[in-house]
Amino acid sequence: MNNTVTTPIGKAVYPHVNEPNFRFDTNGMYSIKLHLDEDKYNGFKSKIDAAVEVQYAAECAKQDGKKLRRADSNPIRITPEGDFEIYAKQAAKKDTKKGVLEFSVGIFDSKARPSNAQVGGGSTVKLAVKPWCWYNPSLGFGYTLQLQSVQVLELVEYSNNGNVFGEEEGSYQAESFGEAFAQDSDDASTSPAANF
């Protein structure tokens, strides 16, 4: 199955599409979870399931006609919280006999123009994915959705500054770094020097 397909429009959850995530894979992994409404989910799942079944039958024939066990993992799933989810990923780097291959994920705006937007959770997006079937005797037959590109329709920009709050009414105001530094400098100039 080598055809790239596009998903319906959904909400991005934990997107790592600008930079790969190295937490669980030293080569890095681009990934995104897409949450959809039930109708869009069912339509997309039916389309992918039909294509995967063709590949499953071909793999069974290749393995002497035996019915093969299916892998436990599935990239199109209903989460324990009841969300209709599509999970797509792409290795950032892969070692091959011909050398190291590096991958990236294309990001496009709503007009299909290339973009360097920092895609954050909650963005409204659609994905271009390539279903990739695999078979491993110990794990069984399964498939992944290889992430090719992301089209951003409504951007919630990713920010790594850790501040998710807006300004509110209240009396507490922290000193800025500059104010604290200036205060420390003033204190140092008026205090007696230590003799060592």
Residue 69 makes CB contacts below 8 A (sequence gap 6+) with 140, 141
- Is 38 inside any structural domain? yes
- Is 190 inside any structural domain? no
The more confidently predicted of residues 87 and 26 is 87
- What is 142-169 written as a DSSP string? EEEEEEEEEEEEE--B---SS------S
- Is 165 inside any structural domain? no
Residues 10, 15, 19, 20, Cα dihedral to 10°: -120
- The tally of domains found in the chain comes to 1
7 band by pLDDT with thresholds 50, 70 and 90: very high
In the block, tokens 């190295």 appear at 22
- Is 163 inside any structural domain? no
The more confidently predicted of residues 27 and 159 is 27
Q: Domain of 115?
A: 5-154
**Quick one: which H or E segment has residue 177?**
helix 177-190
- Is 192 inside any structural domain? no
Q: Is 25 left (phi over 0), alpha (psi -120 to 50) or beta?
A: beta
What is the Cα–Cα distance from 163 to 99, expressed in whole angstroms?
A: 41
- Is 31 inside any structural domain? yes
CATH of the domain at 143: 2.40.50.140
Does 167 have pLDDT greater than 80?
no
Residue 35 makes CB contacts below 8 A (sequence gap 6+) with 10, 11, 13, 83, 84, 85
pLDDT digits 0-9 by tens, 74-91: 999 999 999 999 999 999
> Taking the model in full, what pTM does it have?
0.77
Beta bridge partners of 88: 32
pLDDT digits 0-9 by tens, 98-157: 888 899 999 999 999 999 999 999 999 999 999 999 999 999 999 999 999 999 999 998
